[in-house]
């Protein structure tokens, strides 16, 4: 992970395919982050998977920038290739009022549980997900635990009864 020149080539290909796909680009700590408009995330993933060899979704997770920020939520996709072993990070920014993003379960099946976890922890809604329900927390849990405004110990002691 010394040079990010290779990674920038993929970004160039993305731009060539559709300039609207790359909203912003960051190159930090030897890792390249592409900020993608939320309506085109599934298309971008499909393009990178089908034509650029990023055949594995290594990780998908959410992040909360804090209740005063706008856009508040981030959904972070870590793409990996089992052929050329490069990693690329995609990111979608979402506002608190409308935390909807298209699912990528149609691109990688592994996104299923990742998206359920992100929904569980942040309340991000993945449109088109086949089975969007809580995964780690109980189904009657109130709130989304990893949001910054959710207190560390919860609102009240949780009881199983």
Partner 1 sequence: MSVAVENIPSKFEVLDQALESQMTLSMGPQHPSTHGVLRLELQLDGELVIKAVPDIGYLHTGMEKLFEYKKYQQGIVITDRMDYLNPLGNNLAYVMAAEKLLNLEIPERAQIIRVLFCELQRIASHMVWLGTHALDIGAMSPFFYAFRQREKILNLIEAASGGRMTPSYFRIGGLMMDLPAGFERRCKQFLEDFPDALDQFETLVSGNTIWQSRTKGIGVITAEEAIEWGLTGPCLRGSGVSLDLRRDNPYSGYETYDFEVPVEPDGDVWARFRVRMRELYESYKIVVQALERLKPGPIKADAPKVVLPDRDDMRKHMDSLIHHFLIVAEGFNVPEGEVYHAIEGSKGELGCYLRSNGGPKPDRVHFRGPSFINLQALPVMSEGEMVADVVAIIGSLDIVLGEIDR
Residues lying near partner 1 in the complex (CB under 8 A):
1, 28-31, 33, 55-59, 61, 63-64, 76, 78, 80, 82, 85, 87, 89, 108-110, 112-114, 121, 134-138, 145-146, 148, 150, 152
Considering the complex, state which of residue 27 and residue 39 has its C-beta at the smaller distance from partner 1: 27
Q: What's the min distance (Å) between Cβ of 138 and partner 1? A: 7
SS (H, E, C) the chain: CCCCHHHHHHHHHHHHHCHHHCCEEEEECCEEEEECCHHHHHHHHHHHHHHHCCCEEEEEEEEECCCCCCCCEEEEEEEECCCCCCEEEEEEEECCCCCEEECCCCCCCCHHHHHHHHHHHHCCEEECCCCCCCCCCCCCCCCCCCCCCCCCCCCCCCCCC
Give min distance, CB of 136 to partner 1, in A: 4
In whole angstroms, the minimum distance from the beta carbon of 66 to partner 1 comes to: 9
Q: Which is nearer to partner 1, 46 or 61 (CB)?
A: 61
Q: By C-beta, is 15 or 91 nearer to partner 1?
A: 91
Least distance CB 19 / partner 1 (angstroms): 25
Nearer residue to partner 1 within complex by CB, 9 or 158: 158
């Amino acid at each position: 992970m010394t040079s990010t020149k290779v990674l920038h080539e993929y970004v160039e290909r993305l731009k060539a395919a559709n300039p609207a796909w790359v909203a912003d680009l960051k190159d930090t700590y030897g890792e390249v982050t592409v900020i993608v408009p939320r309506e085109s995330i599934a298309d971008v993933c499909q393009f990178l998977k089908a034509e650029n060899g990023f055949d594995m979704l290594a990780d998908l997770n959410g992040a909360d920038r804090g209740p005063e920020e706008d856009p508040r939520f981030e959904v972070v996709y870590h793409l990996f290739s089992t052929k050329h072993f490069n990693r690329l990070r995609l990111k979608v920014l979402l506002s608190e009022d409308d935390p909807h993003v298209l699912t990528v379960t149609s691109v990688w099946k592994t996104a299923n549980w990742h998206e359920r976890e992100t929904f569980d922890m942040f309340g991000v809604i993945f449109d088109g997900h086949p089975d969007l329900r809580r995964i780690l927390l109980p189904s009657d849990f109130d709130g989304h635990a990893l949001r910054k405004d959710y207190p560390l110990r919860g609102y009240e002691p949780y009881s199983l009864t």
